[in-house]
Amino acid sequence: MLRKDAAFSHSRLQSTLSELFKLSETRGKESSGIHAYVPDQRASWGLKSADRATDLMKSPEYASIMQALAAAFEAEKVGASLAVIAHSRLVTNGTSALPQNNQPVSREGVTLIHNGIVVNVDELWASHSELQRHAEVDTEFMGAFLAQHGGASTPAKATADVFALLKGAASIAWVHGQTDRLVLATNTGDLYFHLDERQGVLVFASEQY
């Protein structure tokens, strides 16, 4: 994530993102996806597929997202505030052949990535009839819950509330299309970040290296 005044060029952003995305393949190679969001412009771009991350980054669709981000940076003159979340998936539940099972998962403004396995997901859907299920992947419940229970107005509380319901492992990152916040949370410790206040950048990953 970048502040608007971040000392980070678009070319440096692109190379950093590319390196992190490649390294994330150690977490799984059965699908991949990316979501980029410019809060100041309420503009976002997303892409996901059953391809591994290194192949996704070779696609024309990925190149189009990088071009859009370059244009966003240029339009702001002094840079743009920006959040990017990306995911490389090892399939646990929900076949990667169905796009709705791949990540990032989006529900009513919330876009979410998740590592781990929620073992009580069927029970959670059954006990929350106000939420509609569209996919097999356990990540969708978290996105749907966050969207309906304060994701835009009280993101920290909504995140704590959904974690209180979960049984299993979850490390998540999510954004909402109406706010300028990136939310990170984990109940396993498999979430590492570096915050550089001087340069105005926050970088996170599921592996410390």
Each as own residue / partner, the long-range contacts of residues 184-188 (CB below 8 Å, 24 or more positions apart, any chain) are 185/159, 187/163, 188/116
Phi-psi region of 200 (alpha: psi -120 to 50; beta: other; left: phi over 0): left
What CATH number is given for 10-205 in this structure? 3.60.20.10
> Does residue 96 register a pLDDT over 80?
no
User: Considering only CA atoms, which of 60, 70, 65 is closest in space to residue 45?
Assistant: 65
- How confident is the model over 125-154, as pLDDT tens digits? 999 999 999 999 999 999 999 999 998 999
* Beta-bridge mates of residue 7: none
pTM over 0.85: yes
> Does residue 93 register a pLDDT over 70?
no
Q: Where are the domains of the chain?
A: 10-205
